[in-house]
A and B are shown apart, each in its own frame.
Chain A
Amino acid sequence: DTGVSQDPRHKITKRGQNVTFRCDPISEHNRLYWYRQTLGQGPEFLTYFQNEAQLEKSRLLSDRFSAERPKGSFSTLEIQRTEQGDSAMYLCASSPSTSGSFTDTQYFGPGTRLTVL
């Protein structure tokens, strides 16, 4: 059973450039989440998908951020016009859906560390 995978693991970019990250959830997990973690802090929620539907977006997700999950499998997170404040670890998680229950466990990928110069 493979876990959640994320690509790339590290990304260094210059301010103003666009970046895109990919997340592949555990197969058959229909819920997918993106979180952001900065140094010394716990992860902060960004957005949540159930299948291909994006059901919730955090206020942290400015209009420079966009996430998609077009076929209900993998997801991408794009940041346009990156800023130094975007430097963080971006974590993806997935969970199964059990009859609408919200007691399912979220399993996290290894994360993508973004450095904006």
Chain B
Amino acid sequence: AQSVAQPEDQVNVAEGNPLTVKCTYSVSGNPYLFWYVQYPNRGLQFLLKYITGDNLVKGSYGFEAEFNKSQTSFHLKKPSALVSDSALYFCAVRVLGGATNKLIFGTGTLLAVQP
């Protein structure tokens, strides 16, 4: 079965410091991986995705993610955190096969950036 895991329920970081939000995946075949962010009482906003090619993917709001096939990881990173980055972050994997076209999400990681 295909799945993603976000091992940290919460990540705390000081403003201006680098941040990392971890994600590991389990898929059969090539992984199609996504990161979304959710602000309180809002829907999910797309940040970035890995389909193929360069292992370092750049996305919205200065975020990037590194695909590591050997470690089956897709960690989200940002060089310098902002207080406004505080939100709930979800990693997701696209399930393929037949007519299916769904995303499977992790349980989310709450990012708290302290001023």
Contact = CB atoms under 8 A, between A and B. Distances in A.
Contacts of B102: 33, 45, 48, 56, 58
Interface in B45-99: 45-46, 49, 51, 90, 92, 94, 96, 99
B27 interface: no
Count class of interface residues, chain A: 20 to 34
A102 B101 contact: yes
Given A102-B32, A107-B46, A108-B44, A45 B104 contact: yes
A58 B41 CA distance: 24
- Which residue among B32, B43, B99 has the maximum number of chain A CB atoms within 10 Å of its CB? B43
A48 B34 contact: no
Given A102-B96, A103-B32, A105-B49, A56 B42 contact: no
Interface of B: 32, 34, 36, 41-46, 49, 51, 90, 92, 94, 96, 99-108
